Chains A and B, each alone.
Chain A
Amino acid sequence: MSALAPTQILCRGATVIAMFMALTAAAFGQQLAQPSQQVLLTVSGKISVMNVGDTAQFDMAALQKLPATEFETTTTWTEGPQTFRGVSLKALLDYLKASGTTLSASAINDYSVSVPVSDAVENGPIIAYLANGKPMHRRDKGPLWLVYPYDANPAYKSETIYGRSIWQLDRIEVK
């Protein structure tokens, strides 16, 4: 032990912190259950709540257990107003005790985009799992879609935000 490299010390420190965090989450009854159905979303990176390895994996039931947010808005990709229901990005990151600044969100179709954590605000974007009360099919931008309330805030009607509105979402890495 007399000649430990600095990297090793860090790794050990990180492990100790991770263990402590996991214990804390368990102690508060926020243990994320193991997914029993098909996994729809996998969150990795700087999060404190995990269930599969160092990732947090959600099936539809797990997502629906989180506080839900619903709003109506039009989008540039659909016709007429749509009602979206899902978990707000803020609620998800709060739940996961995420500590990063940037989210790297990826889709089934390999589309990937950076979303700053600062986007996760009240009345901000949600990870929608219902459109007009129905689950979304993979052939129609499902099953998860990061939707911003475009009509409620004009600032969301920008190409940047359109670019961040990733559909067929299945992975998020908190950096």
Chain B
Amino acid sequence: MSVWLKVTLGLVAVVIAATVISLSVLLTNRINALRTAPQDSAQWNISRLEIDFLKLRNAVLLADAGETGLDEVRLRFDIFFSRVNILKKSQSVKWVLKTAAEKEKFLQLTDFLDRNVSLIDSPDPVLLARMGELRAQVDQISDIPTRLSLDSIELMATRSDAKRLEIIRIMESIALTLMALFLALGIAIFILRSQKRRLNATTSEIGRANTRLASSLRASLDAIVVVTEDGRIIDFNGSAEQVFGCSRAKVIGWNFFDTFVPDRLRESYRQRVRNWRDGTSPSRIDAGRFQIFGRNWQGHEMPMEISIGSATGEEGQIFIAYLRDITKDIEKEDQLLVARDEALSAYKEKSRFIAVMSHEMRTPLNGMVSALDLLRETKLDDEQSDILKAAETSAEILIGHVNDVLDIERIESSVSPDDVTPVDIDPLLSGVVGTLKAMADAQETTLKTLRDGAAIDTVRTDRRAIQQVLLNLVGNAIKFSPGGTVTLGLTVMETGPDTARLDFSVTDNGKGIEAADIERIFEDFVTVDSSYERQQQGTGLGLGIARRLVDRLGGTLHCESAPNVGSVFSFSVDVATKDGAPAQEAQTPDDGAQTDEIGQFSILLVDDNAINRDLLHRILANRDQLVDEARDGLEAVRMASKKRYDMILMDISMPNLDGLRACEMIRRHGSLSRQTPIYAVTSHALSQDRRRFQNAGMDGTLTKPIRSGDVEALLRSFQAGNRKAAAITRAPKRKTALQKDAGQLPLIDDLQIADLILVFGDQMPQKTEDFIEMFSDDMRDLSPGSPLNEIQKKVHEMAGIAAAFASPRLHAKLGEIETACKTDKPELARSILDNELAAVWALTKAALEQAISDQAKAV
């Protein structure tokens, strides 16, 4: 409502109120005046005055004529006297005697009465004697009562008119006031009604809003807690009751921090809120969700997600907190992580299993192929020859499959390109084409190469990886394009002074691949065309291997294809172009697709330690090697003299004859193996040690603890004809490890354990048990009281075993004792032996048992 309207209404109300009040005062006075009659009828008294006078006059006239008694005169005189007295005293008739003339007339009346009172009271004879005189006086005033009566009538009429007028005026003002009042009431009712309508509308709107708010609060899945600035809880919804486990009624008025924050966090949370308020740290109010720890009414702690809004309420600033118990979410997350880890480890286990299986299969397969070769030498009829051909084909396919699987395992177990060397581009391409020419010819497929881009001849990359990818892709293309054309394309782009990008593409016009299948073809064991698969008997691993290799080279393998038009496989590799020495390709006769295949060698393995021997034997056997074992130097010399081994792996510290002496003897005497490369297998990794080995005639060193990867690398290097370079060592790393405080080393080497598991497979628990049993025996035998040189010898032996069984700390501790012995510090040696070794062994034993049982569970 506008201001002027309010003011107007106010004024109207005031005016009406004033009118009503003055009117009611007036009316009250009038009513009071009317309620009691202040006078009797003056008119009547005055008219009676005339009658009483006339009766007196009549009595006087009759008495004068002797016709009536004197008492009648006296009575009439008294009555008239009384009447005049009344008029004289009465308030009510005073107004009649207003004019001087009337007062004069009235005075004449009273004079008459006063003059004659004594006469009237006189004895009868006196009164009778003066009756004439009395009569004369009566006659004299005879017109006065009439005159007064008439005057009074006139006055009464005037007065009556005045009264009537006054009443009319009062009535009129009442009517006017009533009308005004009626009007004002009407307006007031109208205004009130419209106000009420508006109020009703507003009230119901507020009601609806409240209902909406309340129901949305109730329905909210989040707990909602409303607190004042100091944390006092002023509202608490149904979800909050559930989340915090207490009723709204119970918790209202409690402090949120004291009630729902764990003791250990209360102060820090309070501080956080203070920091938000004074701006020390960015406020999280109205700034999305974040995580806190809360606790429920029963004191159980729970991780919660919270978002906070603020508003100004009756209580000053209030905060509305939306909370959610995320215990389950976090549990689920953890479960997912565990599940993922389990899946990953299961996957790894599976591929390890396949890899081990494949290794195990390859030896007998090789045996079969050899046997088939031998069979081919014998005399066969045509049918037998055909059957043999089928067997040979099958064996070849089977070996191909096994090799595919091994490739996958090998690629996955290494992280980065392992062999970056200078590579000449053109020979690489022609090598691939050359290798597959026969296959292409057989299918009547035309094979082309297309070289484009920068004229760079040599780059640094992993030659074998690229070669294998290209062999797989081109081989695949040939398979799927009988009678078609396959083009191997390469575009070289300089991307910097020292870098370039190689864009490879393999294009065919074969049957192509459905769009839906393109993603799938890079997965393992996928063959798109099942009928073709039967025909070609692929494992479906070729593209999977190619994809892995390209990934490892830092590129991505792409495929575009249209059914019945053809396919394009392409990938790019970033390479370095400097370090421009031409590649020294160690070309071996079987270089090419089968370049990764390790040949079979006869190897003499010399170690006095059964575990080491067992381990190394197994690693070699897994790689198809033919292994003989010697338990000490003497035995080794004996065996080496009788057979020409391809390679001898020689432990250094051995009873009877140590490795160095044995090496010297093999080289010196007329042994069949005197030209055979001999590699030291030792934990003696210091450079002076290695010089010593070299002087004794050894070709290289294999450092303990033995890793299957190291052995494989040694074999490959050896196979590549690189006799001296095959000295595989991780010497610098091991040296550092040795110099470290033994206490800082891990109890067990997880990587090595994984390696052992890979090597021993399901025999691992048994092997571990054997190790523990043997080592425990050794610990018992090791007496601090023994002579120093015995201790040294025994400790060295045990160190070798510890190293072999993935126990770096134990190995280092034993090494410390050995060093103390060597440097002639018997007290130190005995002290470590006495005080520390047993504890380290106990810990190592426990850790090993734990690792094996974890492994068992994971499997």
Residues of A within 8 A of B (CB): 76-79, 108-109, 111, 137-141, 154, 157-159, 162-163, 165, 167-168
Measured CA separation A141–B38 after assembly (Å):
19
Q: Which residue of B lies closest to A79 (CB)?
A: B89
User: Do A141 and B36 form a contact, CB below 8 Å, given A76-B91, A79-B89, A108-B75?
Assistant: no
Measured CA separation A76–B39 after assembly (Å):
6
Q: Is the CB of B92 within 8 A of A76?
A: yes
- The A interface, classified by DSSP as helix, strand, loop or mixed, is loop
User: Do A159 and B79 form a contact, CB below 8 Å, given A139-B85, A141-B86?
Assistant: no
Measured CA separation A79–B90 after assembly (Å):
7
Residues of B within 8 A of A (CB): 35-41, 48, 52, 75, 78-79, 81-83, 85-86, 89-92, 117
Q: Which residue of A109, A159, A167, A168 is within 8 Å of B41 (Cβ)?
A: A159
User: Do A158 and B37 form a contact, CB below 8 Å, given A77-B89, A109-B52?
Assistant: yes
Q: Which residues of A contact B52 (CB under 8 A)?
A: 109
- The B interface, classified by DSSP as helix, strand, loop or mixed, is helix
Q: Which residues of A contact B78 (CB under 8 A)?
A: 137-139
Q: Which residues of A contact B81 (CB under 8 A)?
A: 139
Q: Which residues of B contact A78 (CB under 8 A)?
A: 89
Measured CA separation A50–B829 after assembly (Å):
165
User: Do A76 and B82 form a contact, CB below 8 Å, given A108-B75, A109-B52?
Assistant: no
Q: Is the CB of B85 within 8 A of A162?
A: no
Q: Is the CB of B41 within 8 A of A77?
A: no
Q: Is the CB of B38 within 8 A of A76?
A: yes
Q: Which residue of B lies closest to A138 (CB)?
A: B78
- Looking at the assembled complex, report how far the CB atom of A35 sits from the nearest CB atom of chain B, in whole angstroms: 18
Measured CA separation A140–B86 after assembly (Å):
8
Measured CA separation A141–B81 after assembly (Å):
10
Q: Which residues of A contact B91 (CB under 8 A)?
A: 76, 79
Measured CA separation A140–B85 after assembly (Å):
7
Q: Which residues of A contact B37 (CB under 8 A)?
A: 76, 157-159, 162
Q: Is the CB of B40 within 8 A of A162?
A: yes
Most buried by A among B39, B79, B81, B92: B79
Q: Which residue of B36, B79, B86 is within 8 Å of A158 (Cβ)?
A: B36
Q: Which residues of A contact B75 (CB under 8 A)?
A: 108, 138
Measured CA separation A168–B41 after assembly (Å):
18
Q: Is the CB of A157 within 8 A of B40?
A: no
Q: Which residue of B48, B79, B117 is within 8 Å of A108 (Cβ)?
A: B79
- Looking at the assembled complex, report how far the CB atom of B72 sits from the nearest CB atom of chain A, in whole angstroms: 12
Measured CA separation A109–B47 after assembly (Å):
13
User: Do A138 and B82 form a contact, CB below 8 Å, given A76-B40, A154-B36, A158-B36?
Assistant: yes
Q: Which residues of B contact A159 (CB under 8 A)?
A: 37, 40-41
Q: Which residue of B lies closest to A154 (CB)?
A: B36
- Looking at the assembled complex, report how far the CB atom of A76 sits from the nearest CB atom of chain B, in whole angstroms: 5
| A–B Cβ pairs within 8 angstroms, 6 of them | A76-B92, A77-B40, A108-B75, A138-B79, A139-B117, A165-B40
Q: Which residues of B contact A154 (CB under 8 A)?
A: 35-36
Q: Which residues of B contact A138 (CB under 8 A)?
A: 75, 78-79, 82
Measured CA separation A168–B82 after assembly (Å):
9
User: Do A157 and B82 form a contact, CB below 8 Å, given A76-B92, A77-B89, A77-B90?
Assistant: no
Q: Is the CB of B85 within 8 A of A157?
A: no
Measured CA separation A106–B66 after assembly (Å):
29
Q: Is the CB of A141 within 8 A of B39?
A: no
Q: Which residue of B lies closest to A156 (CB)?
A: B36
User: Do A163 and B40 form a contact, CB below 8 Å, given A76-B91, A79-B89?
Assistant: yes
